[in-house]
Amino acid sequence: METPFAEPIYITRPLIPELGNINAKMKEVFDSKWLTNNGAQHEKLQNELRKYLKLNHLVLFNNGTLALLLGLKALQLSGEVITTPFTFPATIQALDWNGLIPVFCDIDKDTLNIDANQIEALITEKTSAILAVHVYGNPCNVNQINKIAEKNNLKVIYDAAHAFGTEVDGIPIGEFGDMTMFSFHATKLFNTIEGGALTFKDASLEKNLNLLKNFGIAGPEEVVLSGINAKLNEVQAGIGLEVLKLVEEEKRKREKIKGLYEKRFAEIEGIKIATKFSGSSNSYQYFVIEVDQENYGKSRDWLHEELKKYNIFTRKYFYPLCSDFQWYQDVKPSNDPNLSQARKSVQRVLALPFYGELQLESVEKICNIIKILKRCKINYTEHNEIIYKHG
C-alpha cells in the first residue's frame, strides 16, 4: 500500500532560470530604461527563436491567444473555418473574436488531432481555412492537410501551443501551413511567463502583424489600421532568453521520465499512452494517458479524483469539448453529431505530472498507485455511497 505524497505533485512546473541570472538580465533591462516597445531584449529573443525553431519569419506577442487572434485577422479570413473540438478554448475563441464560424471536425483516435480524412466532407463555399492543433505536441497529418488546402484554395493555420521545437521528418513544425502559433505561457516547455509567437511563410505579413500588435501605429503621427496592444515587454523577453538556455536539458530530463512512465504502464491493462511522439524533435510538453474503463476497471473521472487523495494532481486535458460550450449551441456547424471519437476521447484523457524536476522515484510511486487503484474493489452502500478496499 502506497502512502500519499507529503507535498503536492502537480501536472507541471515552470522552467525557471537561476535567480542570479535573472537579476543580471533585469539589470540590463533597467539600465537601458527601455521596458517595452521592441527593445534590445525583444529583438534578441525574436532572433534567437528564429534560429532555435529554424524559421525565417517570426513575430513575438504578449500571449499565444492574441497571437492567434491577430494572425487570423492578418490573413483576412471570412465565413467558416474547419477546426477541432478537442483543444483549449483559446483556439476557438480566436475564431469567435474574428467573426468566424467554427465547423467542428472529429479527431484521429491515435494522435487526437483533427482527422484529416474527414475534413474535405465539411468544406462548403463558405469555408476559408483549416485551423488544426498539434495536440500534446503530436504532429497533425500535415501533408494530407496541405493537399486538401491546395485543392480547395484554403488557408491553413496551426495551433502549435504544445509543439515548441517539434519536427516532422526533420522539417520544423512551423514550416507547414500558412501560419503557426506558439504559446510561451508559464506551463509550456519554453516560457516567457506569458507570451507567444507567430511564424509564417509570407514575408509581407510581418509588417501588418507588427502594426496589428501595436495599435496600428506606423509612426509618431500615423495610425494606419485598427490594432490592439499585444506586445511582449522587455522583462518577459529577458526571462525568455534565460529560459531558452535551459530547454534542451529540460527535454532530456523529460525524455527519461517519459520512458519510465511508458515502461510501467506497459504492465497496466487499460492504460493507453496518448503522447507517443519521441526523439529529439519531440516537444515533451505533456504526458497524457487514456483510461479505458472497460479494461482498467475504473473511469478516468474516478482515477482523477482518487489520485488527489495521494496528493497527485492530474488534469482532464482537454475537457469539455469546445463544441459543447454553451455559447456555440446556436451555431449550426457546432451541432454536427459526427464527433464520435472526440466524445469518446474527452472522457478518457488524463494528463499526468511531467516536468524535469519530477524525481524518477516519484514517477515509480505514481505508477504504483495507479496500478494499486486498478485492483481496488468498489462497493456501493444502500445509499449509493461509494466505498472501496484494496484487492
Q: How far is residue 367's CA from residue 67's CA, in Å, rounded to a whole number?
A: 38
Long-range contacts of 146-150 (CB under 8 A, 24+ apart): 146/176, 146/177, 148/116, 148/119, 148/120, 148/123, 149/177
Burial class (CB in 10 A: 0-12, 13-18, 19+), 116: buried
Q: How far is residue 268's CA from residue 272's CA, in Å, rounded to a whole number?
A: 9
Give the type of residue at 35: L
Q: Which of 95, 138, 48 is nearest to 322 (CA)?
A: 95
The residue from 25, 188, 213, 251 that is catalytic is 188
Cβ-contact 87, 133 below 8 angstroms: yes
Q: How far is residue 74's CA from residue 199's CA, in Å, rounded to a whole number?
A: 12
Query: Active site includes 188?
Result: yes
Q: How far is residue 130's CA from residue 127's CA, in Å, rounded to a whole number?
A: 8
Residues assigned a catalytic role: 188
